[in-house]
Structure 1
Amino acid sequence: MSTPSKILVVGTVNGSLEVFVEKISKFNKKGGPFDFVLVSGDFPLDDQSIQTLKNKIPVSTLIISGNKNLPSSLEKKVDPIKGGEICDNLFYLGKSGIYVTSEGIKIAFLSGLPPPPNDSSDSKDNEQTETSCHFSIEDVDRLVEFSKKLTPSINYSDEEDYVPLIDILVTFPWPSHVQKHSAISTPSAPKNDSLILSDLCYKLKPRYYFASEENLFFEREPFSYKPHIKLGESTFHKDKTAKPLVHYTRFIGLGEFGSKTRWFYAMNMTPLHIINSQPKDLGTIPQNITECPFKLTSLKRKADDVNSMIFAEEKKSKSKVPPPNYVCKICNITGHFISDCPEKNNKEPIKKSIDDIKNECWFCLSNPDIQKHLIADIGENLYLVLPKGGLNCPRRPEFLLSSDSGNTSNGSGTVSSKFMVPGGGHVLVVPIDHITCPFDNVSISEDFKSGDQQSDLQPIVEEYHKYKDKITKLFDKYDCVPISIQFVRKNNFQHSFIPLIAFPKKLLPTLRDNFIQAGKKENIVWSNSLPSSESFGYYKCEIPDGKPPLIYHLDAKKRVDIQIGRKILAQALEIENGGDWKSCTLSHAEEKALKKSLASELRKI
């Protein structure tokens, strides 16, 4: 059975983000390391806080929206619907969807509050709606449908028993009636619970459900969706021959970070679909399990019926009159809300100048903060640099092809002697110009070339292959080959680079299968062909085993762990926590020594 993921879930985060990061860092050292942190409510963000957070968040942190929309300044960095990376180790999941971690944990998420009443005429309510975040019935329906397409499932004799094998569901509000059948009391009853979320929970049947709007800690007894199951028994498929299934939901309400109410919940988790494929590892149903608190009669109603009883449908498009002092932030004119502004779809997004982008880019040589001590060689169009926290191949006898090859000099007694090749074995090939498209193939580079990209790519591509040949010769002297991994997205403004990672020839025969098997767990189907120019992007791994590269065509609606390649290599090399670059960082002196040994070896080739 796979190693369980270590997860920390927290409630709404308000106040100082520096205090939050400091607290999470302590948690991670004392009870971790955690694979990720999941925030079940608002996470206050602005340009200043993002600058403060850069390179300081110790664990990959996933956030949703609670009762507030993303700041408009952030919408230039991430899509408010699809989500995206805000800064290193901080990822906004988006409006609704399912996020699959590299370990196979499936997280269903829904940002915002329930749909607001459509019959409210109070101007303050309308003004609040402009800045509040709300989900719609359509968002919920799409999430349910997506779960059926994305996740493996168990189908019983009727639709009520559909189990999409979701590990975690996270929303901001609580579901209605969740306290029913529970013997655990809370200081107060939920004030803003949602019947729509009760419906969603029943349809997704998550293993864990977290919510934090009520600012109450409530760890409810687990509840089952199959009332006829006897305690201590496992359930089976209707054909009686398939593998057994133990399934129930634990709902956990969390307090606000920093409050006197408990605001965190730590746990170890193995993906539900893996548990149910290992009969010998199945446990029994907990003795304190209760009936499902959600009534089937109410859940069978149509969404419109639910809306008519409790909530309105998603806010209608008809215009409302704002208060006299309200000024639209798009056109700076009174008389309408921002959502009704006629200029809403015509407003050109504010673009940073190329100088601003270069000054902030980690790879542009014009950036005064660039880590120059890591640069090993500078060519005409490209340069070679060691990454921070590189995945450096450890020097082990079992990685060598023969005892003789172990006699090859690699700086005995130096930091390089710990690794298979001089420099550690992880190098980045980076364009000197701020190029945002791939540069290993002219035709595909032109397809993904942005409109303002003026560089002639032919000499860049040619120089890349010269550098790659050099690195290949160097690695070959030490029984290694270079593995190339690329993550390419269309309309991406990040500085392109190609990592070349040393991998022992002795382990090469099984590496391709490692990628294929890991891809299956992530629902990744590998291809051998590059995508068309209309593609959203691709993820490519080149393994020098005489076979075509493994290519995954990216889907704009599906999230992919961009570190999956690194994690597969780290596992093969038996580097503990090697999938996280922060676990592989070296001292400044060690980095300089590795760069020096790499540069010295390159001059000999």
Structure 2
Amino acid sequence: MVLLENAQHVSRFIALANVNNPAKKKYLYAFSIVPLKNMDPAELVKQPQDVTENPYRKSLKESKKDKPAAAAAFQEEEPASQFFFDLGKKQQQGSVRKRHSEGDRPTQPKQPRRPPQPTGPCWFCLASPEVEKHLVISIGTHCYMALAKGCLTPDHVLLLPIGHYQSVVDLAAEVVEELERYKAAVRDFYKSRGRRCVLFERNYRSQHLQLQVVPVPVDRCSTDDIKEAFMVQAQEQQMELLEIPQHTDLKQIAQPGTPYFYVELDTGEKLFHRIKKNFPLQFGREVLASEAVLNIPTRADWRECKYSREEEESLTKKVREEFEPFDFTLMD
């Protein structure tokens, strides 16, 4: 599971036995420490796969009962303004940096941003021995494109960073720039084949960014139909899926480490859900596979519709050849 509150440091608790205990249980533990100043901000708030909530955390109501009224003013709470469109905090940080530059406080040189390293084997880091390279369609400088495992349609692809990044909000500027070029190229590719482009990301129980890109035939349904399908299914599962301004950067509404689900339609419309708990892992596929969109409900779970390696190689080769006229990496 992932933590429910805003992104913050994760603590590790290790229980050790007494020294020289009769049962000979482990009483020593060795570990290496990396100074905070040498760590990437995204790495500081990264949540491991087996993270759990603090068992001693009190509810907000209990905290208010325990604290006297006089101390309530010092209680740290999230601002009451709507978090989706409140950019006040960002502007305030900018003003603090400005004051520092005017000589109030000496500034330290900015540490170069480097991708966080995976905590274990990663199936999507291109340099990883676990990655299935026969699915790769195109490779850029910072990103690559691959056929989706158990794809919904024969040209359902993934856009992924070559380095290890957990989500879109973790990406460095140069990676975002190339990712946008890939998104534009795939949209043009689908459009030439009479298909709409639907992108979605699930930053929940995943350690490497996977931007799912699915084509939907134009004559099958409209963009409004696709949008309504997401909204209806979210409502049925009691999820708050909200529309956000088209030109809004996800980094403005979600900090690194924040679990979320995100959809981008071919019109530029964007849908966002801030995940708290019990989010259905196949939600994006379930909506697109539903009768309202692609009408292939048996392919909602990728594990139930995997191809053989030979079939995957054949599909990848076909998409690679068809995508070639739109592949900017072959033109630069």
Deviation (angstroms), 1:327:
6.1
Give the alignment of 1:49-60 within 5 angstroms.
none
Q: Kindly report which structure 2 residues correspond to 1:140-179, keeping only aligned pairs within 5 A, or say none.
A: none
Aligned pair partner of 1:514 in 226, 229, 247: 229
Alignment of 1:283-294 (within 5 A): none
**Residue equivalent to 2:158:** 428
Please state how far the C-alpha of 1:472 moved relative to its aligned partner. Answer: 0.8
Please list, as runs of the form range in 1=range in 2, the aligned pairs for 1:491-506 lying within 5 A after superposition. Answer: 494-506=207-219
Cα distance in 2 between the residues matched to 1:469 and 1:532: 23
Aligned-partner SS, 2:128: coil
Q: Residue 158 of structure 2 contacts residue 212 of structure 2 at CA under 8 Å; is this kept in 1? A: yes
- 2:229 is paired with a residue whose SS is helix
1:532 and 1:357 mapped to 2: Cα distance? 21
Partner of 1:267 in structure 2?
A: none
List per-residue Cα deviations over 1:152-195 (Å, max 9, x = no partner): xxxxxxxxxxxxxxxxxxxxxxxxxxxxxxxxxxxxxxxxxxxx
Q: SS of 2:300's equivalent? A: coil
Partner-residue secondary structure (3-state), 1:573: coil
**Which of 258, 261, 269 is residue 539 of structure 1 equivalent to?**
261
Match of 1:582 in 2: 303
Measured in 2, the distance between the counterparts of 1:330 and 1:521 equals 50
Distance in 2 between the 1:357 and 1:464 partners?
Answer: 20
Q: Which moved more, 1:589-598 or 1:517-526?
A: 589-598
2:83 is the counterpart of 1:361: no
Contact 2:261-2:274 at 8 Å conserved across structures: yes
Contact 1:358–1:434 at 8 Å: present in 2 too?
no
Question: Could you give the per-residue CA deviations for residues 130-149 of structure 1, whole angstroms, max 9, x where no partner exists?
Answer: 9xxxxxxxxxxxxxxxxxxx
Contact 1:486 1:498 in 2 (8 A): yes
Task: Give ranges in structure 1 of 5+ residues lacking alignment.
Answer: 1-77, 83-129, 131-320, 333-348, 393-423, 439-444, 450-455
- Give the counterpart letter for 2:147 in structure 1: L
- 2:213 maps to a residue whose letter is L
**Post-superposition offset of 1:603:** 1.9
Shift of residue 532, structure 1, vs aligned partner: 4.2
- Number of aligned positions between the proteins: 220
The TM-score with structure 1 as length reference comes to 0.33
The CA deviation at 1:493 is: 7.0
Deviations 1:299-338 (CA, angstroms, capped at 9, x unpaired)? xxxxxxxxxxxxxxxxxxxxxx9xx725674568xxxxxx
Residue matched to 2:22: 325
Structure 1 residue 367: Cα displacement: 2.4
Task: Please tell me whether residue 484 in structure 1 is matched to residue 199 in structure 2.
Answer: yes
Q: Partner of 2:298: helix, strand, or coil?
A: coil
Could you list the per-position Cα deviations for residues 429-471 of structure 1 after superposition, in whole angstroms to 9, with x for gaps in the alignment?
A: 1111111231xxxxxx2xxx3xxxxxx7111111111111111
SS in structure 1 of the partner of residue 159 of structure 2: strand
Tell me the distance in 1 between the aligned counterparts of 2:131 and 2:259: 28
Residue 380 and residue 328 in structure 1: after superposition, are their counterparts in 2 closer, same or farther (change >3 A)?
same
Counterparts of 1:106-185 in structure 2, within 5 Å, are none
Secondary structure of the 2:178 match is helix
- Give distance in 1, aligned partners of 2:119 and 2:48: 17
1:570 equivalent in structure 2:
289
- Tell me the equivalent position of 1:458: 173
Match of 1:379 in 2: 140
Judge conservation of contact 1:358–1:367 (CA < 8 Å) in 2. Answer: no
Cα distance in 2 for partners of 1:370, 1:350 equals 20
Separation of aligned partners in 1, 2:262 and 2:116: 30
Q: Secondary structure at the match of 1:425?
A: coil
Once residues 512 and 382 of structure 1 are traced to their aligned partners in structure 2, the CA distance between those partners, rounded to angstroms, is 28
Percent identical among aligned pairs is 25
Rate the CA distance shift 1:432–1:583 in 2: closer, same or farther, 3 A. Answer: same
Work out the CA distance in 2 between the residues paired with 1:536 and 1:576.
30
Q: What is the alpha-carbon root mean square deviation over aligned residues?
A: 3.4
SS for the counterpart of 1:483 is strand
* CA–CA separation in structure 2 for the residues paired with 1:545 and 1:465: 15
Work out which of the two has the higher radius of gyration on C-alpha atoms and give 1 or 2.
1
> Could you tell me how far apart the structure 2 residues matched to 1:535 and 1:357 are?
14
Distance 2:155 2:48 in 1: 41
Q: For residue 363 of structure 1, what is the amino acid of its counterpart?
A: F
Which residue in 2 is equivalent to 1:309? none
1:473 counterpart = 2:188: yes
Q: Could you say which structure has the greater relative contact order, defined with CA pairs below 8 angstroms and 6 or more residues apart?
A: 2
Contact 1:374-1:592 at 8 Å conserved across structures: yes
Distance 1:521 1:576, change over 3 A: closer
Contact (CA 8 Å) 1:359, 1:368: kept in 2 or not?
Answer: no
**Structure 2 Cα separation of the partners of residues 474 and 350 of structure 1:** 36
Higher-helix-fraction structure: 2
Residue 535 and residue 432 in structure 1: after superposition, are their counterparts in 2 closer, same or farther (change >3 A)? closer
* 1:538/1:356 CA distance change after superposition, 3 Å: closer
State the SS of the aligned residue for 2:124. coil
| Equivalence for 2:96 | none
Q: Residue 273 of structure 2 is aligned with which of 547, 552, 555? A: 552
Specify the SS of the correspondent of 2:233: helix
- 1:536 Cα deviation from its structure 2 partner: 3.2
Output the CA distance in 2 between the equivalents of 1:533 and 1:368: 30
Aligned-residue offset at 1:358: 8.0
Q: Is the 8 A contact 1:540 1:550 kept in 2?
A: yes
Task: Give the C-alpha shift of residue 474 in structure 1.
Answer: 1.0
Deviation at 1:537, TM superposition (A): 2.2
Contact 1:381 1:460 in 2 (8 A): yes
